[in-house]
Homo-oligomer: A and B are copies of this chain.
């Protein structure tokens, strides 16, 4: 997968031979296979290099059209035929180095083509607009806002003071309040020989039409793919949305809600304040998560869950009430 060239510079293809020196793997045979893209293992295609950190069995899930895949020695034999195994001690770490040999995140103030600003857009003083960015008719950008290179903003959208946006496509009639941080690097960490290492994030954020995003809220860009907030979803202040999260339409999230990476949230889901959702979960359409719910498993569509760890809300309430009754009954436990 080629990365979105509005946000990432492509340095040019590399042969596996050249990458082997950079990433510290031995090529079993000299190969001039060209690598021109990176992707998540399941989605990699021709020319892509990916990585797999599971076992030999789950290695079968790596896309059969990927050109090459970093794997641990024990898992290499599990890769689909045709995918060149690149055996390394820490596949994710090797992949970081390969990705950085191919691509580079444009810096906030990257030079390049001029931004395209509609004459009917209102740009306050102190605003920074990066090269190649675009701002549509009737949009209003508040003072001291920072819009990174390549960011696309639709029509009738408002951005509050001191907000910052990078690696993002923003729709029409979106309302982003002051201090929101859109498109920062998701929280990815792996282990290197000297300790913890940041995992660069190569994706984007997509904000659809009529979305509201509260003050000082953070929405991280995807690792390889996109973090998406669907049409008319409304997000309060001080909310955290992790990388690769996909939020449907008409979702409401109150303050201090947080969604870990790679969660899918169905249309119309309601979250009270301080709801937390662990990574890689599915929240079904129309589900209600009550204030302070700590969601550690999938939530079926239409159900109301609460508590920590979260469970069906009635069950949570029964447990709260039962415990209270037991303890009120006497100072000495009656069991």
Chain A residues engaging chain B, CB cutoff 8 angstroms:
107-109, 122, 124-126, 128, 140, 142-144, 146, 148, 160-164, 166, 175, 177-179, 181, 184-185, 187, 189, 194-198, 210, 212, 214-216, 218, 220, 231-234, 236-238, 240, 242, 249-250, 252, 254-256, 258, 260, 273-274, 276, 278, 291-292, 294, 308-309, 311, 315, 318-320, 322-329, 333-335
The answer to whether A333 and B325 touch across the interface, beta carbons within 8 angstroms, is: yes
Measured in the bound complex, the distance between the Cα atoms of B231 and A143 in whole Å is 30
The answer to whether B195 and A232 touch across the interface, beta carbons within 8 angstroms, is: yes
A276 partner, pick from B198, B212, B291, beta carbons under 8 A: B291
- A148: which B residues are within 8 A, CB to CB? 161
The answer to whether B318 and A161 touch across the interface, beta carbons within 8 angstroms, is: no
Query: How close is A166's CB to chain B, nearest CB, in angstroms?
Result: 8
The answer to whether A327 and B333 touch across the interface, beta carbons within 8 angstroms, is: no
- A161: which B residues are within 8 A, CB to CB? 108, 128, 146, 148, 164, 166
Taking chain A's interface residues, is the majority helix, strand, or loop, or is none over half, making it mixed? loop
- A142: which B residues are within 8 A, CB to CB? 107-109, 146, 164
The answer to whether A215 and B184 touch across the interface, beta carbons within 8 angstroms, is: yes
Query: How close is A291's CB to chain B, nearest CB, in angstroms?
Result: 6
Measured in the bound complex, the distance between the Cα atoms of B234 and A189 in whole Å is 8
